[in-house]
Amino acid sequence: MQRCEKITFGRQAYRSPGLLIAFFLLVSMSLLRGQTPLKKRLATDSLVYHETYFPLDEAGVNRAARARLDSLLAQWPWTVVRMVQLEGHTDSLAGDDYNLDLSKRRVMKLLRYLISTGLDPRKVQTGYYGEERPRYLTDTLRAKNRRVELLLYVDKQRLPSPEKKLMDYAFRKGDKLRIPKLQFVGNQAVPTWQSMPVLYELVRVMKRYPDLAIELQGHVCCSDDQQLSEARARMVYHFLRDHGIAPERMEYRGYSNTRPLYQEVDERTEALNRRVEIKVLRNTKRENPDTELFKPKPARAPVLDLEFIRDSPNLTPAGDFMLTLVAEMMKTAEGYLYEFVVYDNLGAPSLTARRKTTLQRLLRRKGVPAQFYKVMHRPAPEWMPSTTGSNAVMVEIIPRP
């Protein structure tokens, strides 16, 4: 989970994860050769070492490398990492200056990906060395010199206790439990793509126990935000309804930040307080064995505070900030399609169409691969209230076959 911070646009305060352009620029300016190793300053921490390899003359982090990094971070989440060191290297097939620049670009590409997963850039120290420090000297292994070394200095005492899967609980009346690994985009009720498996597991639980009735309780950290806590609980409620769970079996409420589990003293405790919990209202021992027999459907969520300039197709700075938060998560969302719908709740079809085009263009500019998203516009449904300012925007997260 990511730490919440405050950024202000005009009179409104928005909480963002640690991904900020200013921090990224500060980190990129700190690329220095031959820096003092962090291990001399953090000798009491456990050291986790990982190498990311690159094809010849390339700096991009490919799918296989991202999968290995994701596996690493599943074991060592950012909440337990004190500091991070990145060191870029190349083979010796080009000139010194070219290789030095290539090693720098590899570091920056990897850093950009790690930030998108929740790394706070203020924890990072970077270096790049070109071909100066080969680790692999034989012909068969020499290609592995095209690498970035990732060193994580971790505090094992911060590791949370292993969480049970939802299916492991008995769901007795009065039980209360946190939905594990359910995460949302900062300031949004949009779940991250990594959260989709646990949402489908929750569907299986509700189908396994046909008499189970629950209250979904949304919580936020850091500051009072009743609307956001309720929107996240409501998103899970509608997800379950879309999968055939009867509405009379569910309730949802938002509790803002009034019921923290932990005193918020660091990133880990703040992350643990951002959650959706389940309270069991009633249940019986009756079980349905055919819990796997359902067709997964998309998750739907509103894109909150996506504000447009009045009578203009362009977003306000605050609206653009909100879209950036969603876009950063989408960049790595392989296996899912994000389908945005801009509703004409203004009675202005021409302006709505132009705003759809704006979102399409901005997502492309923010680096989201074109195959990861679609943007369309539709007439507003009858239940949607009319406004005179910004269009309502929904997003569906659709599993790919």
pLDDT in the model for residue 274: 81
Residue 248 CA to residue 241 CA, distance in Å, equals 10
Residue 173 CA to residue 281 CA, distance in Å, equals 6
CA distances from 27 to 43, 70, 84, 115, 214 (A): 23, 22, 12, 11, 45
Lowest mean pLDDT among 109-123, 286-300, 378-392: 286-300
CA distances from 245 to 181, 198, 212, 248, 291 (A): 22, 16, 10, 9, 13
**Helix axes of 96-116 and 63-75: crossing angle, nearest 10 degrees:** 50
Q: Pick from 154, 136, 156: which is nearest to 146 by CA?
A: 136
Highest mean pLDDT pick, 139-143, 272-276, 357-361: 357-361
Q: What is the mean pLDDT of residues 307-319?
A: 96
Q: How confident is the model at residue 8 (pLDDT cuts 50, 70, 90)?
A: very low
Cβ–Cβ < 8 Å for 339, 326: no
- Sorted by sequence, the CB contacts under 8 Å of residue 366 that are 6+ apart come out as 323, 324, 327, 328
Residue 239 CA to residue 301 CA, distance in Å, equals 9
Mean pLDDT of the chain: 86
**CA–centroid distance for 346 within its chain:** 31
Residue 368, pLDDT above cutoff 70: yes
- Which tokens go with 207? 């189908």
Residue 262, pLDDT above cutoff 90: no
Q: What is the pLDDT of residues 227-246, one digit of tens each?
A: 999 999 999 999 999 999 99
- Sorted by sequence, the CB contacts under 8 Å of residue 54 that are 6+ apart come out as 60, 65, 106, 146, 147, 148
Residue 315, pLDDT above cutoff 80: yes
Q: What is the pLDDT of residues 96-120, one digit of tens each?
A: 999 999 999 999 999 999 998 889 8
Which residue type sits at 331? K
Domains of the chain plus CATH, in order, are 5-158 (3.30.1330.60), 166-282 (3.30.1330.60), 303-399 (3.30.1330.60)
More confident residue, 363 or 45: 363
Q: How confident is the model at residue 5 (pLDDT cuts 50, 70, 90)?
A: very low
Residue 320, pLDDT above cutoff 50: yes
pLDDT in the model for residue 12: 35
**CA–centroid distance for 110 within its chain:** 17
Q: What is the pLDDT of residues 140-180, one digit of tens each?
A: 899 999 999 999 998 876 665 666 788 888 999 999 888 88
Cβ–Cβ < 8 Å for 176, 167: no
Q: How confident is the model at residue 341 (pLDDT cuts 50, 70, 90)?
A: very high
Cβ–Cβ < 8 Å for 308, 387: no
Three-state DSSP class for 194? helix
Residue reference for tokens 């209360």: 176
Residue 38, pLDDT above cutoff 50: no
pLDDT in the model for residue 292: 66
Q: How confident is the model at residue 267 (pLDDT cuts 50, 70, 90)?
A: low
Q: How confident is the model at residue 29 (pLDDT cuts 50, 70, 90)?
A: very low
- Which tokens go with 94? 């080009």
User: What is this structure's pTM?
Assistant: 0.63
pLDDT in the model for residue 162: 63
pLDDT in the model for residue 92: 92
Residue 31 CA to residue 129 CA, distance in Å, equals 10
Percent of the chain predicted with pLDDT > 70: 85
Which residue type sits at 39? K
Lowest mean pLDDT among 18-22, 93-97, 213-217, 322-326: 18-22
Lowest mean pLDDT among 28-32, 118-122, 338-342, 360-364: 28-32
More confident residue, 11 or 154: 154
Residue reference for tokens 């509790």: 255
Residue 85, pLDDT above cutoff 80: yes
Which residue type sits at 165? K
Residue 254 CA to residue 275 CA, distance in Å, equals 11
Q: Is 374 exposed, middle or buried (0-12, 13-18, 19+ CB in 10 A)?
A: middle
- Which tokens go with 103? 């090693």
- Which tokens go with 191? 């779940």
Q: What is the mean pLDDT of residues 125-129?
A: 94
